[in-house]
Amino acid sequence: MELTQLIKERRSIQIFEEREVSLDLVKELLDTAVWVPNHRMTQPWRFVIVHGEARKRIAELKGKPGDASFNVNYYNKMMDVPMFIAVVIKENPVIGIREEDYSSASCIIQNLSLLAWEQGLGMIWKSYGHMHEAAYRDALGIQPGERVVGSLHVGYASQVPNAQPRIPATDLITVIDQA
């Protein structure tokens, strides 16, 4: 697919087919996705991939089946996601570097979503609050000093949402050409 078409036609996917996602394919896509610009080449990221039965680590964060606190809707919603990828970065103590690192990690996520889309694979970047909470961090082995940039839900789309219109960049351009 041509890059322009890929960029415009990629959608964030919420609802997936039951079909499994190949771990090898995702590893290969990630290997390409990390070719982002990265000031100082800090490359502070790593990726925690959760799939199969391990999805229960996430699905059971709001109670296990049988618990009084069990949230069946949350459990089912999470177990319907074929694969999760937590994009994790080491938090640099210097704020400027921390922002650069976060920006580069965001580029990886966009690269990955385009590469996945090209392969017919859907994805959504989720930023739910509980990815910063101790229970989620413990379940995925997130270390002190690490930040979860996003929890990516990955799978083959069962529904592709309509595109939401973008404000044309041409309406947002200020051209300065006078001395």
Ligand X SMILES: Cc1cc2nc3c(=O)[nH]c(=O)nc-3n(C[C@H](O)[C@H](O)[C@H](O)COP(=O)(O)O)c2cc1C
The binding site for FMN comprises 10-12, 39, 125-127
Closer CB to ligand X, residue 30 or residue 124? 124
**Residue 125 CB, nearest approach to ligand X (Å):** 4
**Least distance (Å) between residue 11 CB and ligand X:** 4
Nearest distance from residue 109's CB to ligand X, in Å?
A: 8
Contact between 109 and 36 (Cβ < 8 Å)? no
Amino acid at 137: R
Q: In the complex with ligand X, which residue's Cβ is closer, 25 or 160? A: 160
CA angle 116, 77, 18 (to 5 degrees): 50
H helix count then E strand count, the chain: 6, 4
- Chain mean position to CA 11: 13
Residues with Cβ within 8 Å of 71's Cβ and at least 6 positions away in sequence, in order, are 62, 63
**CB nearer ligand X, residue 124 or residue 139:** 124
Positions touching ligand X (CB under 6 A) are 11-12, 124-128, 161, 164
- Residue closer to ligand X, measured from CB, 65 or 161: 161
In the complex, what is the shortest distance from the CB of residue 161 to ligand X, in angstroms, rounded to a whole number? Answer: 6
DSSP 53-72: GGGHHHHGGG--TTSTT--H
Binding residues: 10-12, 39, 125-127
- Confirm if 107 and 36 have CB atoms less than 8 A apart: yes
